[in-house]
Amino acid sequence: MAIITLLTDSGDSDHYVASIKAKILSINPGITLVDISHRIAPCDIAHAAFVIKSVFREFPRNTVHLVGVDSIGGKDDALIAVQLEDHFFVTADHGLLGLISEKNHQSMVELNAVNPVFTTFPERDVLAPAAAKLASGVNITTLGKPMVGFKKMMDRQVKANKRLITGHVIRVDAFGNLVTNIPRDVFETLSKGKNYTVQFGGEKFRKLHTQYHQADQGDCFVLFNSLNLLEIGIYKGNASELLGLGYDSVVNIMFEE
């Protein structure tokens, strides 16, 4: 089954998403289209990277992911098709792919390099046709000019030692929950047999929850979520607003020897 996912910053109040879909279906009406989100903040590459990284591996191998976020990019940002972790991505070469995987790409081409189409709507006129062809079984190497590598943005890294893990909030979700970049496996390795304190803002917690509802309504919870990342929230409330924390806020886990 041919699948194309769509992730854009086009919103849902204009014709843009429908036009992208129409272009794909005009090439192959048998393709299954899956909307990941069209409410990425305009040109917010970090937001887009978090969303696509969180979900792309759950799709079958050879799924094509059209990422139409900041597609105009800078004047030197090419439009590209990349095979990465047995998935295909069509997007602008503005650094997003480096935020979703540390693995080497399998194949990569620059789209629109031969007989270029000059357009103000590259998602429809360049990315959509490339995605449709990939989903229809066309070899990626026939779609453009070979490239050696794509641009990579550097993400915040967790710092960890025997006494301390320092991470940051990497996403405030629609519920106001604070998702951090602190992974479960790092915490479990360092916390064995030790007492610990989770500190963020002016708050300190000495235990983790396993479910959201273990906290009373209006109280704070701290747990590892379905992405195996440390998450902080307020049950039936907005943690970002009530705690005054947001993207890039520091979260520490301190261990007692």
Statement: residue 74 has pLDDT above 80: no
CA–CA separation, 134 and 64 (whole Å) = 7
CA distance 141 to 109: 7
How many angstroms separate the CA atoms of 32 and 244, rounded? 41
159-255, which class in CATH? mainly beta
* pLDDT one-digit tens code per residue, 18-66: 999 999 999 999 999 999 999 999 999 999 999 999 999 999 999 999 9
Q: Would you tell me which CATH number, out of the four given (3.40.50.620, 3.40.50.2300, 3.40.50.300, 3.40.50.10790), belongs to the domain 3-146?
A: 3.40.50.10790
According to the model, what pLDDT value does residue 193 have?
86
Q: Which residues of 94-129 are buried (b: 16+ CB within 10 A; e: fewer)?
A: bbbbbbbbeeebeebbbbbeeeeeeeebbbbbbbbb
Is the pLDDT at 75 greater than 90, yes or no? Answer: no
Are 253 and 161 in contact by the 8 Å Cβ rule? The answer is no
Residue 114: is its pLDDT beyond 90? no
CA distance 45 to 96: 6
Amino acid at 163: R
Query: Whole-model pTM?
Result: 0.91
Q: What percent of the chain has pLDDT over 70?
A: 100
- Cα distances from 142 to residues 80, 96, 108, 139, in angstroms, run 13, 23, 11, 6
CA atoms within 13 A on the CB side of 227: 19
Identify the sign of the CA torsion 69, 7, 68, 10.
negative
Residue 257 pLDDT: 75
Question: Per residue in 160-181, pLDDT tens?
Answer: 999 999 999 999 999 999 999 9
d(CA 212, CA 190): 24
Query: Pseudo-torsion of CA 250, 58, 99, 151, nearest 10°?
Result: -170
Residue spans per domain, the chain:
3-146, 159-255
Question: Which 3 state secondary structure label does DSSP give 203?
Answer: strand
Q: What is the CA radius of gyration of the chain?
A: 21
Contact of 254 with 167, CB cutoff 8 Å = no
Q: Comparing C-alpha atoms, which of 19, 123, 149 is closest to residue 68?
A: 123
pLDDT band per the 50, 70, 90 thresholds, residue 157: confident
